[in-house]
């Protein structure tokens, strides 16, 4: 799929996130968002008066607030500004960064702030997710986001011991990353010598998907400020350029065109398109960091293969050989990932934000200990939807022919 020339370049110039927790009872929704907004403005070194437009997103049925951007305007700073609200499920956070990218590139607005949030304490997360299924055909079968299918698939392909060990090793690695991130919701202080114990004793949710494998439900918000090239260069010492993004949605399992069991996984499809049109032939070589939307360790493990277009057991080896650790050759989720922090409407935006912080070298204790020039960030949601971003430190890439 060919890439079109961007009307103008777009950079991330400000990032702000809240402290994430299972219960942010100290703040209401607009107050929580305001924390992220204030921090993003401070980070960018601009005032709210410099922001031309806002893009807001989350999922309404988690908190049962209809069009919450209307109420949240008292915390977002959207008063008197152009405001958009775009939502696509778990992908929302990445979608709104894409909306910001497109709106700034279009020339309609020079500086746009995107805001993703969720306050899952105020609703019932698994109930909310179950409610996405078709009420006639699928709702009685849906178990929220919990599925043991990927665990079963991986076990069938690579054998139970190796598969379970790799998934748990990835879990421990990301917990170690989360312990370095002061914003992370959960870190348990896990270590690799607990793998055998956890493989057996962590409570089972569905099949071999165990409690320790599954992401949290968090309260939190993130704000990211995007600017056009001209303004980004003026305002920011360290703009992070959005080189390209791609969105790949697909229909529900039951769809009017029937079921194709051999259908390509959306993550694979998105990565193939994005890498292809940007001339990236070896993503493992090219990217210095990958912030993946990993709702469970089984998915995180399996999706390494899909995103990186790997064959055979390469993805297992990457985990077994610690290539995905913060000190490894292909660091995955130095922030700790979704498995540690998951305010759903913000989650995918946090992937982009954390990837951008790595490019800037501003990630603090969880900064990768080498230069980060090229970053990959993914969003996941809906009925297996993908949004994938490429971020760059320098405006020097060659467009693919």
**Which residues form the interface with other proteins (CB under 8 A)?**
1-2, 4-7, 28, 54, 57, 59-62, 64-74, 78-89, 95, 98-99, 101-108, 128-129, 131-132, 134-135, 246-252, 255-257, 264, 266, 269, 381-383, 385
Q: Are β-strands 374-381 and 289-291 bridged in parallel, bridged antiparallel, or unpaired?
A: parallel
Phi/psi at 363 (5° precision): -80, 0
Distance of closest approach, residue 256 Cβ to other proteins, in angstroms: 5
Judged on CB neighbours under 10 Å (0-12, 13-18, 19+), 124 is middle
Distance of closest approach, residue 10 Cβ to other proteins, in angstroms: 8
Nearer to other proteins, 77 or 331 (CB): 77
> Alpha-carbon distance 95 to 130, whole Å?
21
Nearer to other proteins, 93 or 331 (CB): 93
Nearer to other proteins, 62 or 287 (CB): 62
Distance of closest approach, residue 320 Cβ to other proteins, in angstroms: 32
Nearer to other proteins, 108 or 211 (CB): 108
Nearer to other proteins, 57 or 220 (CB): 57
Dihedral of alpha carbons 279, 283, 288, 289, sign:
positive
> Alpha-carbon distance 35 to 32, whole Å?
5
Angle at 351 between CA 91 and CA 184, to 5 degrees: 115
Nearer to other proteins, 269 or 335 (CB): 269
Nearer to other proteins, 89 or 336 (CB): 89
> Alpha-carbon distance 164 to 142, whole Å?
24
Nearer to other proteins, 85 or 305 (CB): 85
Distance of closest approach, residue 288 Cβ to other proteins, in angstroms: 25
Nearer to other proteins, 65 or 206 (CB): 65
- Count how many Cα atoms sit within 13 Å of the Cα of residue 289 in the half-sphere of its side chain: 33
> Alpha-carbon distance 24 to 88, whole Å?
24
H helix or E strand, kind and range, residue 157: helix 149-158
Nearer to other proteins, 7 or 282 (CB): 7
Distance of closest approach, residue 368 Cβ to other proteins, in angstroms: 29
Nearest to 150 by CA among 169, 136, 164, 161: 164
Cβ atoms of 195 and 203 closer than 8 Å: no
The contacts of residue 209 (CB under 8 Å, 6+ apart) are 146, 147, 148, 150, 151, 296, 298
Helix axes 160-178 and 149-158, enclosed angle (nearest 10):
120
Distance of closest approach, residue 142 Cβ to other proteins, in angstroms: 10
> Alpha-carbon distance 173 to 142, whole Å?
30
For residue 326, CA distances in Å to 55, 150, 186, 227, 366 come to 32, 25, 18, 29, 8
């Amino acid at each position: 799929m060919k890439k079109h020339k961007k009307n103008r370049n777009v950079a991330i110039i400000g990032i702000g996130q809240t402290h994430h927790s299972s219960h942010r009872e100290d703040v209401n929704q607009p107050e929580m968002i305001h924390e992220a907004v204030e921090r993003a403005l401070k980070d960018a070194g601009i005032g709210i008066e410099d922001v031309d437009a806002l893009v807001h997103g989350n999922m309404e049925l988690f908190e049962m607030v209809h069009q919450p951007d209307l109420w949240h305007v008292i915390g977002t700073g959207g008063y008197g500004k152009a405001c958009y609200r775009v939502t696509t499920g778990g992908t929302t956070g990445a979608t709104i960064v894409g909306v910001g990218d497109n709106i700034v590139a279009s020339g309609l607005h020079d500086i746009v702030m995107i805001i993703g949030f969720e306050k899952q304490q105020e609703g019932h997360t698994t109930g909310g997710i179950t409610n996405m299924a078709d009420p006639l055909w699928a709702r009685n079968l849906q178990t929220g986001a919990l599925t043991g299918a990927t665990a079963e698939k991986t076990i069938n392909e690579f054998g139970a011991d190796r598969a379970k060990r790799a998934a748990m090793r990835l879990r421990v690695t990301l917990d170690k990353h989360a312990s370095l991130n002061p914003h992370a919701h959960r870190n348990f202080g896990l270590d690799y010598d607990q793998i055998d114990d956890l493989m057996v004793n962590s409570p089972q949710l569905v099949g071999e998907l165990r409690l320790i494998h599954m992401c949290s439900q968090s309260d939190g918000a993130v704000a990211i400020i995007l600017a056009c090239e001209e303004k980004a260069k003026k305002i920011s010492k360290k703009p992070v350029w959005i080189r390209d993004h791609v969105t790949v949605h697909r229909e529900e399992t039951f769809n009017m065109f029937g079921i194709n069991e051999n259908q390509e996984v959306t993550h694979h499809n998105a990565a193939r398109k994005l890498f292809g049109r940007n001339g990236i032939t070896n993503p493992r070589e090219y990217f210095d960091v990958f912030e993946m939307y990993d709702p469970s360790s089984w998915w995180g493990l399996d999706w390494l293969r899909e995103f990186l277009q790997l064959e055979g057991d390469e993805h297992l080896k990457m985990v077994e050989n610690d290539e995905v650790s913060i000190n490894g050759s292909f660091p995955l989720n130095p922030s700790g990932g979704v498995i540690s922090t998951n305010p759903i409407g913000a989650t995918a935006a946090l992937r982009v934000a954390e990837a951008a912080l790595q490019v800037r070298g501003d990630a603090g204790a969880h900064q990768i200990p080498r230069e980060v020039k090229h970053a990959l960030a993914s969003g996941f949601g809906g009925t297996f939807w993908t949004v994938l971003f490429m971020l760059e430190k320098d405006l020097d890439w060659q467009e693919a022919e």
